[in-house]
Copies of this chain bind each other. A is one copy, B any other.
Amino acid sequence: MTETFDIIRIKENSKETVKDVVVEEVPLTIMVGEKELVTLLCTPSDLKDLATGFLFTSGIIKKGEDIKSIIIDQEHWIANIVLVNPDIEEKLVFKRLFTSGCGRGTLFYSAADIIHRKKIVSDFKVAPARLRSLMLNFQKSSYLFLKTGGAHSAALAGTEDILIFKEDIGRHNAIDKVIGCALVSVGFKDKILISSGRISSEILFKAQKTRIPLLISQSAPTNQAVKLARDMGLTLVGFARGSRMNVYSAEERII
């Protein structure tokens, strides 16, 4: 459920390569009969429980006995489910077309997005002290979080200061608000994307679309986020708290 990476850990006046343990993320596709229901990004443990719980809390099954069998394919990350009553499958199509809504994290990525991802080319550079100061401003700006304790924030910064700051109950939404605003105003060139939330592959794919050179978060990344950032050549900084930060990829931009 974890993967270890060699990363750069920056503290007040030191910089060292250390081993860092990162949480694992896999895409589990839930198939009911022949139908693809959904893909959940998840930790690869207790996947039968996850599939059962998802079907139950989504209202697709009413009790455990409604499931005839679940087979988890750990090679392709597929939960193959057969229901006792196959009529339910018809209902799934209906639900998918008319009422499926997504709290957050909907993925419309096609295979081409992944295959055609190009390296981010940018000679943007920033000093750790500058990042620390930006993160301090970022945390101070979180009006909604300070008031309710229940909000995420995201921001776009230049090397000097924060240019756009947004809050939302969802970390994906906060980032989409910042990106949507930047798209029609200051753009993404030589900018830094800041998040209060954990960095999963979904967040990396959002960042990738902007070609931004640097993504920094107070929180942890997943192993897939680290791998994608390395593939893309995007500088990913995590656990940016106080004077400490972890650089997971493209560390040449942190001088």
**Residues of chain A having any CB pair with chain B under 8 Å:** 1-2, 21-23, 25, 27, 29, 38-43, 45-46, 48-60, 63-64, 95-97, 99-111, 113, 144, 147-151, 166-170, 172-173, 175-181, 183-184, 198, 200, 202, 205-206, 209-210, 219-222, 239
Contact = CB atoms under 8 A, between A and B. Distances in A.
Query: What are the 5 closest A-B residue pairs judged by CB atoms, nearest first?
Result: A103-B105, A53-B180, A150-B220, A39-B101, A53-B176
A52 B149 CA distance: 27
A41 B180 contact: no
A50 B38 CA distance: 23
A188 to B, nearest CB: 11
B144 A106 contact: no
Contacts of A149: 219-220, 239
The complex is assembled from copies of this chain, and their number is 2
A43 B2 contact: no
A209 B59 contact: yes
Given A42-B170, A183-B53, A150 B110 contact: no
Given A58-B108, A170-B40, A64 B184 contact: yes
Contacts of A25: 169
A98 B238 CA distance: 33
Given A64-B184, A144-B1, A209-B59, A170 B41 contact: yes
Nearest to A50: B177
B109 A43 contact: no
B40 A221 contact: no
B113 A107 contact: no
Contacts of A60: 108
A40 B219 contact: no
Nearest to A43: B168
A168 B101 contact: no
